[in-house]
Amino acid sequence: MSDNKNKETAGSGFIYHMELFLERYKLPVSAVCALVLLAVPFMGFSQYIMRILIMIGVYTMLGMGLNILTGYVGQLSLGHAGFFGIGAYTGALLMLRLGVNFVFAAIVGACLAALCGLLLGLPTLRLKGTYLAIVTLGFGEIARMVFMNWAPVTNGTLGLKNIPRPSFFGFDLTLANHGLYYLMLVLVALVTVSCLAIIRSKTGRSFIAIKEDEIAATMMGIQITRSKVLAFVISAFITGLAGSFYAPLVGFIDPNSFTFDVSSLIISIVILGGMGTIRGMFLGAVVLIIFPEVSRFLMDYRFVVYGIILVVMMRFRPQGVLGWKSQMPYKLPRLAREELAKQS
């Protein structure tokens, strides 16, 4: 039946042609994209532009982290800046005080963020919709208060300075030698692949089922609270990972790097790109990170425009810029296709 429906909607519109094109030339297109991304450092951009590119990578990761929760499970979190901060502070402190390697620091930072996600998620994910939004909002603020007031560890409002760059085998990765850029590419690729893997797995399907209809999902034997907490933990983990990469990138963090504005920026990325899509996160991050930079001529008005974007998006295209439903016919698994081919 779904096949029939697909045939009716298929074959019309720009999006369909684009998807068809991508489907047919999947390999060359992705190869070209990968080559361009790898070759960017050799195109002679200034450090300023490289820095923006890396920030786009960081926010793409943040977007994907929130997307797992908001896009797929349908739970809004307004406190992701808190997880971002926990990851950043943990990573930075480990590297500063104990001189730990970046990889280890990042893993610990992400795990700690995930642990906080678990502790916050267990009691609160039983609450619904708006209440969850409030609790996470409060969590974000509390996390910031702790960064600000736990002075012996976090150095209070002064923040942490001189966070060492990540280094591998005695080779420092910096902006100048493009090491940070490639590290960003690796991390983004890792996060993207794991997000795709999660969403295409049984767990991911259960996430989407919860978003569509909780009661029906329960009927299908999905443990709702467990799935929600799991999504929350994964989301916090990715966000924490992005945080522990962000800290050595900028070299300086203070409690004001993790305000509610950051949370709302992450949400805007998810909304603008398209909730429940991976591709949307890239577009959202690109647009929302570049926009403040290129719109300096707007002066103070750019934040007004930023608000207007949110409002207008919600009004006319709540599913996001890239949030279309795939119009390609449903692709059966390989074994089923072979079976069909044998029959006909």
Partner 1 sequence: MAYALIAVGYSLVFGILRLINFSHGSVYAFGAHIALLFVGFQFGVIPAVLLSIVFTGLLGVAIDKTALAPLRKKNSIPIAALITTIGISNIIQNLLMIFFGSEKKAFPAFFDFGMVNLGIAKVNSTQIVMCVVSLILLAALMLLVNKTKIGLAMRATEQNAKAASLMGINVNFVIGFTFFLGGASAAIAGSLISGYYQIVYPGMGFMAGLKAFAAAVLGGIGSLPGSVLGGLVVGVSESLAATFLGSTYRDSMAFIILIIVLIFKPTGFFGKKTITKV
Residues in touch with partner 1 (CB under 8 A):
70, 74, 76, 123-124, 126-131, 133-135, 137-139, 141-142, 145-146, 148-149, 214, 224-225, 228, 260, 264, 267-268, 271, 300-301, 303-304, 306-311, 314-315, 318
Least Å from the CB of residue 81 to partner 1: 13
For partner 1, the closer of residues 47 and 256 by Cβ is 256
Say which residues have a Cβ less than 8 Å from residue 59's Cβ, sequence separation at least 6: 242, 265, 266, 269, 285, 288, 289
For partner 1, the closer of residues 139 and 237 by Cβ is 139
* Contact of 244 with 105, CB cutoff 8 Å: yes
For partner 1, the closer of residues 314 and 332 by Cβ is 314
For partner 1, the closer of residues 137 and 183 by Cβ is 137
Least Å from the CB of residue 303 to partner 1: 4
Take residue 225 and report the two structure tokens written for it.
């609270």
Give the DSSP letter string of 252-285.
Answer: -B-GGGGSHHHHHHHHHHHHHH-TT-SHHHHHHH
β partners of residue 253: 160
Least Å from the CB of residue 77 to partner 1: 11
Work out the number of other CB atoms within 10 angstroms of the CB of residue 162. Answer: 8
Cβ neighbourhood burial of 152 (10 Å; 0-12, 13-18, 19+): exposed
For partner 1, the closer of residues 53 and 269 by Cβ is 269
Least Å from the CB of residue 124 to partner 1: 7
Cβ neighbourhood burial of 250 (10 Å; 0-12, 13-18, 19+): middle
Least Å from the CB of residue 145 to partner 1: 4
Least Å from the CB of residue 74 to partner 1: 8
For partner 1, the closer of residues 138 and 251 by Cβ is 138
Cβ neighbourhood burial of 78 (10 Å; 0-12, 13-18, 19+): buried
